[in-house]
Amino acid sequence: MRQVVLKAPRELEFREVPAPRAADLKEHEILLQVKRIGICGSEIHSYHGTHPATFYPVVQGHEYAGTVVAVGTAVESIRPGDKITARPQLVCGTCNPCRRGQYNVCEHLRVQAFQADGAAQDYFVVSDDRAVRLPDDLPLDYGAMIEPSAVGAHATTRPRELEGRNVVVSGAGTIGNLIAQFAKARGARKVVITDVSDARLAIARECGIEHTLNVARTPLKEALPELFGEEGFQVGFEAAGVEVSVRSLMECIEKGGDVIIVGVHAKDPAISMFYLGEHELNLIGSMMYRHEDYLTAVDMVSKGRIHLQPLVSNRFPLEQYDEAYRYIDAHRETSMKVLVDLEA
C-alpha cells in the first residue's frame, strides 16, 4: 500500500509498504481503508519544522475517514462496510487525568501524525474505543472534518454557561469558524466572529455566522456598543493564537466572564493580570476533544446544524500531498480545509 512519511521538515517520502492484515487484528481493532484526509495547520507547522512536538519520521494524517475492511473479534458496534472516523489520540489510561475521564490531557498523550504515525496510507488500524460510525449518507469529506468539528464541540463545553450568553470568537480560521457554529447550535444568544481577513469573515457568513467584525478596521472595543448595546458579551473564545486577540477579549468581556483559550500561542502573550484579577475573569483552556465531542460533532454535522461545505477549499490525490502543502502555503488567507482524496 501507499504511505506518506514526513522524514524531516519539508521532506515527504512516498513509500510502498505492506498493508496491515485482517488476520493480525487484535480483538478490539478495526482495519480501515482510508479514503479522505484533512490537512490542518499544525501539520503545516510539522512540515516547516516549526511544530515543537513532532517526532520525525512520522506518517502524516490525523483527520481521516474511510470504510471498514475487517474488525477484531470483540468489536461490537462497527461492521465491515461501515463508514467511520476515529480520534487520533493515544492515551495511557492510567494517569490521573485519564482515570478521571480527562484523557484528552493524558500525561502521556500521543497524537497521531505528531508523536505517533498517522493515517496517510491506504489502510490503517484503529481501536474501537476511538472509532465513530458515520451515517451512510454523510459524505466522506465531512467524515474527515469531524476532527476539527470536535475541537469546536469541545471548546463550547468549556464555558461555565453558554446558553443565552453573548459570545465573541476571535479568529475565523477553520477552528474559530466551527466554534462559532457550535456556539450558535448550543443556544448562545448573539455570536460575533472577528478576524483581520475579509475573506475568512465572508466564509463565516456563508456558514451562517451572520455577525462578523474585521478588527483590523474596527477594534473590538470600538465596535462593542454597536454589536451588543448595553448587554456586552460574557463568553470569549480565543482561536487566533495571537497576543492582541487574547488581550482584547480580556479587556472587552463583561466582568466575571469566561475566556476560553483554544489558539496555540507560539509566543507567550503578555496578558493583563489587572483584568484577570480585578474583573474576576475566568481563563479556561481547551484541548482537542473527548469521545463524546466526536459523537456530538457527527450528530450536529449530519443534522445539517454545522455547515462544512464552505470550508472545503481544495482537494489533492495522495500522490500530491506535497502539492497540497504548497497550495496551503501559497493561499494562506483563502484556503481553509484542504482534503487529500485517496480515491482520486
Q: Which of 289, 295, 298, 297 is nearest to 102 (CA)?
A: 289
Q: Please check whether residue 188 is in contact with residue 167, taking contact to mean a CB–CB distance below 8 angstroms.
A: yes
Q: Which of 131, 156, 33 is nearest to 75 (CA)?
A: 131
Binder of ligand NAD out of 33, 115, 157, 197 (CB under 6 A): 197
Contacting residues for 261 by C-beta, under 8 A, at least 6 apart: 238, 246, 283, 284, 285, 286
Between residues 123 and 275, which has the closer beta carbon with respect to ligand NAD?
A: 275
Strand ranges (E), 119-234: 123-127, 131-133, 167-170, 191-195, 211-214
The stretch among 6-14, 15-23, 133-141, 282-290 that binds ligand NAD (CB under 6 A) is 282-290
Between residues 62 and 165, which has the closer beta carbon with respect to Zn ion?
A: 62
H/E run at residue 205: helix 198-206
Residue 195 binds ligand NAD, judged by CB under 6 A: yes
Binder of ligand NAD out of 85, 121, 245, 296 (CB under 6 A): 245
Between residues 181 and 286, which has the closer beta carbon with respect to ligand NAD?
A: 286
Query: Nearest residue to ligand NAD, using CB?
Result: 173
Between residues 20 and 118, which has the closer beta carbon with respect to Zn ion?
A: 118
Give, in degrees to the nearest 5, the angle at Cα 280 between 249 and 247.
20
Q: Which of residues 50-89 bind ligand NAD (CB under 6 A)?
A: none
92 binds, among Zn ion, ligand NAD, none (CB under 5 to 8 A by kind): Zn ion
Q: How far is Cα 271 from Cα 6, in angstroms, rounded to an integer?
A: 36
85 binds, among ligand NAD, Zn ion, none (CB under 5 to 8 A by kind): none
Contacting residues toward ligand NAD, per CB under 6 A:
40-42, 151, 170-176, 194-197, 200, 215, 239-242, 244-245, 262-264, 286-288
